[in-house]
Structures are given as structure tokens and as C-alpha cells.
Amino acid sequence: MAYVIGVDVGGTFTDAVLDDDSGSVIAAKAPSTPPDYSQGVLDVLEQLAEQLGRTVEEMLAETHHVAHGTTSSLNALVMRRVPDVGFLTTKGHRDSIFIMNVEGRYLGRSPHELQHVLAQDKDHHLLPKRHALEVTERVDRDGNVIVALDEDGVRRQVETLRADGIRAIAVSLLWAFRNPVHERRIREIVHEIDPDIYVALSSEVSPRIREFARNSTTIMSTQVGPGLRDYLTNLESGLKARGLAGPLLVMQSNGGAVAASEAPQQAISTVGSVLTGGVVGSGQLGRRLGHRNIISTDVGGTTFLVGLIVDGEPERDTTTVINHHPINVPTLRVHAIGSGGGAIAWVDAGGNLRIGPHSAQADPGPACYDQGGTEPTNTDANLVLGILPTTGLLGGRKVLDLEKAREAIRTRIAEPLGLSVEDAAAAVHAAQNAQTGDLLRKSVVEAGHDPRDFVLYAFGGSGPAFCAKYATHLGVSEVVVPLGPVASAFSAYGLAASDIALAQELSDPAQLPVDPVRAEKNFAQLEDQVRQGLDRQGLKFDRVEIVREVDMRYAMQLAEVTVAVGDGPLDASAMQAAADRFEARYAELFGQGSGFSAAGIQAITYRVRGRGVLPFSPELPPLERATGDPEPHGRRPVHLEIGQGFVDTPIYDYAALRAGHVITGPAVIEVPTTTVVVPEGRTGTVDELGNLHITHDEKHGA
């Protein structure tokens, strides 16, 4: 027997999915345990082992690998809970990180924030100026050394940082991506002085043109690298001590995993890792169900996440924004807002009901958890509305206190708005649906897609309670709630289904036509780095897939578009074919006729993505066929519509449902790890894998 385990560590819950080579899949969920999230990982592994009827040691001894997704890096950066780091750059360029290329004043801000300049927070620098130091050296744009590195000056700056308690240093020199010799020598000097200081080089973390983005990427990677290293080292040591046979893998933002031993040196690549698990899982399930256009929505305890799969492939980005700073990291395109089950509802100074972005998380949690939390959340509202059972979550292991939920909503929402507790809870539920619907429109419609061409997948602990409504806001006709054995642990299923994925990139700006020999040399260098990286993972692959890409733009523009470059030797026709793809894609993104070929086209950044396909990934087992109509196991009053009040609603036990069962709304389906709402005018049909398909009831129309 060989197991593969995916573990998704969220801000509120830790989920896990285990697959074995016989086709069985089981899932578990446990509260996350900040600040030591590793304890939550061990807790959820205990639950998996218990379901198998084995000890954790016996289970881990037969585990091929554990794929781990964590929010720790992202949370640390977003909340600025990172240690002080040092920054070394070329003399005369220290202030570039503080000037922020001007774009740091508007990146990541909503249109509303941009219109209110005086209310904007300007205090989002990455480090104090005393920790940003300069060294004498200079490499030109062609990679030629113009000024030699002043090694004695480097030693003085390193000692200055050490004297101030700095234990991690980011090095980003001008044009280092064209020639990294000075950056590498600085790392050698640092380690000659103190081998334990963590050092990150821009030529390795972000070998891409544009100084500000490269600097901020390298600094942020340095901020989270040591913490990620310590966390993964302790976790892997703990798992190995309990008998783990295979490696611990860490999910990356690009939708693939990497060995835990490799992750800290490219720490920034794990930012958003847990956000991509659901998209990977949606792609895996979509191939099984025949869906090629999927809107993946994951509503956990803290966040609401949206990712798209278009024509069978997840949408990708080459850059993201964190705290107003551009970050150069290949990633699956995932939009996120703080609107999960634990998102706090509040009334602003203008008397408007708001949801999030702050979350009660696992500690203290929603008021109904009775752990000291007093702020009302989406979870509290759902309990008051009868959507959640008073018997509690996680099969009754997480007890819920209805009176605590009512009190929180009464004092913080109902009384300020002049509503009853029930109507206030319904207002919270409606506001949540409207807010998530807005993000969906931004992610789908504003990206140029027609929602009617998509199926919406809804998962996470909270998603199934809201999905039918936010899908209606968007105009999607079919919703799939992935249930079966994975239920709300679907992101963990995606982690277990992920392969090893590495990416290497290099900026080498040039006007087309580019010398094919020059382009081929760049791709060959990057592919060699990717293949060496795959060899270091300690795993055997069924096959290795290599994809070549280049970021292109019209001359003197900033809008770069990524296009694929075909396999095989490059010649002038292959580069022209890539340019043609660029122009076609540019027109799709920005409108027909918006391009300007007469300006010329430039190839800016070359990229190679490598995927090591692992021997097996989880396949959901089929469900027994139904032999009759489904029977509810009870009824209770449920409040789903403002103005309609409570309606006596049938409650179904998911464990009793079989493939082919059809449930007519209004209805609530209880799963140990989530709750599904089928509103009036909808029907829910269980497919052969146990997933619930929610569609419009033909009698009610669309």
C-alpha cells in the first residue's frame, strides 16, 4: 500500500486528504493551531490514521509523499509580521526601494481608495533605511563589469548589519540578472563572516528586468525565507521521526510542489501556495467530469478565493502584488478577499453593513465557538439562520453556541441597524453573497469571459452554503459542489493531486527579429536549470514535461504578454510565430485594433516551466447508485430570504445519499465538514462521484 497525503493549512482549519494506490480517498479537518501550525498538521494526520484503523507511524511509513500548502508566508507578509532584514544594492540605488517607482502608491488599491488620496496609508516601506546599504560595483546592461566589487566595503556593510541584529540579507544589484558574479561573491563574503546568515540573491530569486520589482521580490523572499526554513525543517523532522517514508513537498504559487529542502531559497514562490490547491483540484476533477471552463471558488474560514480554468488550463500570471509591492513570481491567477466563514461583520461610521476583511480565524474564532470571540461572523449568521446545525461542526466535534452567536449579532449588527437578530443575520448572509458576487464579476466578466460558458465549482467549509446565490449573481447556470470523500477538504485534494513544478526565467530584452541562436541559448540555459532542479527533488517521475515561454511587448510599452514558444530548434519562423501569438493575445486582452506593430515588438523575459509527473494522483471513487428517492433525516426552520422569514426545510444527511439522487430546494445537506444550501427554485443532483450539481429547477425557469 502506498499513500499520498495533501495537507492544506488555512488560517482557521487544517484540511487533509489521503489517497492510496487502490483508489480509496479519505479526508479529515481539524482546527489550525497558530502560531505553531505544525500541531494542526499532526492533529489532522491523527484523524486520517484513525479512519484507516492504523497508527500515524504505520500510515506515514507507507506514505509516498506529503504535499503541504501553507498560508504562513503570505500571512506574514500581508500582516507585516516578518523579522528585520538587510538590503545590499549598488551604490546610488538604495532609495529605489523607497521611491517605489511611483507605482507603489497605487498598486493594489481599489478605485475607491485611489480617489481618496488623503486617506491612503503611505507607511508601507519594506525595511528601515538604516538596513538598506550600498556597495561599490557596477555591471552594465550587457553584463560587462564596469566597476569591480569593493570587497572590503562589502565586509564593512555586512558587519554594520550584524551589529544591528540582522540575520538575513537580500542582495539585489543593478543588472545582476545579466551577470550575477558580484551577487554571488557577496554571498560568499557574508558566509565567510557568518555562515548562518540567510542570503537571497536577486539573480536567483528574480532574474527579471525592472529594478523596483526585482528588489521588492528579493526582500520579501528574504523576510519569509528563514521562518519558512525553520518551520519546514521542524515539520519534516517531526514527520520523519514518526516514520514518514517519502519527502515533504511544499506547494508553490505556480500550481506545483517542490521539496521542502528546496523551498526556503525560493521562499517567495510559496506565497499563495494554499490558494492554488483548489484550482489544481478543480482541473483534476474537471477532466473527470468533462468540464474545460471552470470558475473555482474556495470559501474557507478566512478568505474567498477565485481562480479560472479556461479550455482545460488554469490562467496564469507572472506578477502579483503584496502590500503595494510588485512581486515577480510565476503563479496561477487567484483573486482573494477576506470574506470567508470567519469574516467579521461590522457597521461602518456611515451605517453601512460591511463584511471582512478581518477574520476571527481559529483563535478566538466566531462568537459561536465560545472561545472568547465576541465579533459576529458569517458563521454566526448561518447558525442563527438555521443553515448550520446546532449540534456543531466537524461531525459534532466543534460545538456551536447559538446564544453567543445571537448576542454578537444583536449588539454589533441588529441594534445599530434597527433590525431583529434574524433579519440582521439574513442581511449578513445577503451582503456576503453580494460581496463574493462582485469579486466573481471582476474575475470573470472584467477578464473578458462570458460566465454562461463556465461551470462554477464551490468548495471550502463555507462555500457550499453560499454558492447557489453567488453563482446567480454572476449568471452561471450550473454549480458543482465537490463532495464525495473530500467535501470541504477539496484544496487538500488539489495538493495531493499536484505534481512537481519548477520554473526558471531570465530577462534578455531585445527588439525582434531576435537572433534565434541567442534565444535558443537562453532557453537551453533555463531548461538545464529546471532539469537539475527536478533531479534534486528526490522523486521518480513518470515523465517530465517542459514548456517554453517568452514575455513580449510593443516597444516602449509596459504591458507584457506571455506567449508559448514551440518545441524544437528555434529559427526565424518560430520566433515570428511567437510574435504572431503575442499580437493575437494582445488584441484579446486589450481590444481589436489596440496593437501597434509599427512600433516594433520586443522579447523581454524568457521562461521555462518544468513539470515532473508523479506516479499516481488521487482519483475519486464511484458512489453506489440510488435505488429510490432520498429521504430527509429531519427538518428545521431555515431563513434564506430577507422578507420571507423562516421556512420549514428538509435536512439531508450526505452519508445517506447515492448517485442519481435528486433534491429539490429549499433544502440543506449536512456533510461532516460543510453544509450545502439548495435554495428554492434549484435542484441538486448527486453524480457518480458523489458531487452535487445544483441547477435551476425547470419548473421555476432561470
Tens of pLDDT along 413-469?
999 999 999 989 999 988 888 877 777 887 888 777 889 999 999 887 777 887 888
The pLDDT assigned to 310 comes to 93
Per-residue pLDDT tens digits for 375-401? 999 889 989 999 888 776 666 677 888
Q: Which one is predicted more confidently, 33 or 285?
A: 285
Distance CA 514, CA 510 (A): 7
Per-residue pLDDT tens digits for 250-269? 988 888 889 998 888 888 88
The model's confidence at residue 698, banded by pLDDT at 50, 70 and 90, is low
- Residues 6+ away with beta carbon under 8 Å from 382: 341, 388, 425, 429, 462, 465, 675
What mean pLDDT is predicted for residues 364-381?
88
Q: Give how far the C-alpha of residue 253 lies from the chain's centroid of Cα atoms, to the nearest Å.
A: 6
Q: Which one is predicted more confidently, 85 or 25?
A: 85
The pLDDT assigned to 321 comes to 78
Computed from CA positions of residues 32, 36, 41, 42, in that sequence, does the dihedral angle turn out positive or negative? Answer: negative
The pLDDT assigned to 78 comes to 65
Per-residue pLDDT tens digits for 534-557? 999 888 899 999 999 999 999 988
Cα angle for residues 93, 94, 99 (degrees, 5° grid):
90
Per-residue pLDDT tens digits for 558-614? 889 999 998 878 888 898 999 999 999 999 888 888 888 889 999 999 999 999 998
The model's confidence at residue 488, banded by pLDDT at 50, 70 and 90, is low
Residue 484 grid cell: 464525495
* Half-sphere exposure at residue 279, Cβ-oriented, CA atoms within 13 angstroms: 31
Residue whose C-alpha cell is 503541504:
68
Alpha-carbon torsion angle 327, 220, 231, 192, nearest 10: 130
List phi, psi (to 5°) of 248. Answer: -90, 125
The pLDDT assigned to 373 comes to 86
What angle, rounded to 10 degrees, do the helices at 151-163 and 181-193 form? Answer: 50
> What pTM does this model have?
0.81
Of 22, 23, 18, 29, the closest CA to residue 52 belongs to 18
Sequential DSSP letters for 345-359: EEE-TTS-EEEEEEE
- Residues 6+ away with beta carbon under 8 Å from 290: none
Enumerate the β-bridge partners of residue 124.
Answer: none
List phi, psi (to 5°) of 188. Answer: -60, -45
Domains annotated for the chain, with CATH where assigned, are 3-76+229-273 (3.30.420.40), 81-223 (3.40.50), 501-613 (3.30.1490), 635-696 (no CATH)
Residue 498 has pLDDT above 70, yes or no: yes
The pLDDT assigned to 254 comes to 85
Per-residue pLDDT tens digits for 307-330? 899 999 898 888 887 777 888 888
Residue 522 near residue 508 (C-beta atoms within 8 A): yes
What mean pLDDT is predicted for residues 492-502?
87
Distance CA 500, CA 635 (A): 47
Per-residue pLDDT tens digits for 635-657? 999 987 767 788 899 999 988 99
The pLDDT assigned to 110 comes to 62
Distance CA 610, CA 533 (A): 9
Per-residue pLDDT tens digits for 507-527? 999 999 999 999 999 999 999
List phi, psi (to 5°) of 368. Answer: -70, -10
Distance CA 695, CA 7 (A): 31
Enumerate the β-bridge partners of residue 297.
Answer: 306, 458
What mean pLDDT is predicted for residues 142-167?
96
The pLDDT assigned to 702 comes to 44
Strand stretches in 436-539, DSSP E:
455-459, 478-481, 500-511
Distance CA 282, CA 294 (A): 7
Distance CA 531, CA 134 (A): 35
First to last CA, the chain: 48
Q: Give how far the C-alpha of residue 139 lies from the chain's centroid of Cα atoms, to the nearest Å.
A: 36
Q: Which one is predicted more confidently, 210 or 74?
A: 210
Strand stretches in 283-425, DSSP E:
294-299, 304-310, 313-314, 316-322, 325-332, 334-337, 343-347, 353-359
- Residues 6+ away with beta carbon under 8 Å from 628: none
Q: Which of 226-230, 288-292, 338-342, 435-439 has the lowest mean pLDDT?
A: 338-342
The pLDDT assigned to 19 comes to 87
Per-residue pLDDT tens digits for 199-219? 999 999 999 999 999 999 999
Q: Give how far the C-alpha of residue 135 lies from the chain's centroid of Cα atoms, to the nearest Å.
A: 36
The pLDDT assigned to 389 comes to 84
Q: Give how far the C-alpha of residue 322 lies from the chain's centroid of Cα atoms, to the nearest Å.
A: 13
The pLDDT assigned to 579 comes to 93
Top-confidence range, 167-171, 397-401, 415-419, 677-681: 167-171
Of 354, 397, 404, the closest CA to residue 379 belongs to 404
Residue 17 has pLDDT above 60, yes or no: yes
The model's confidence at residue 273, banded by pLDDT at 50, 70 and 90, is low
Residue 71 has pLDDT above 80, yes or no: no
Distance CA 367, CA 407 (A): 9
Distance CA 140, CA 182 (A): 12
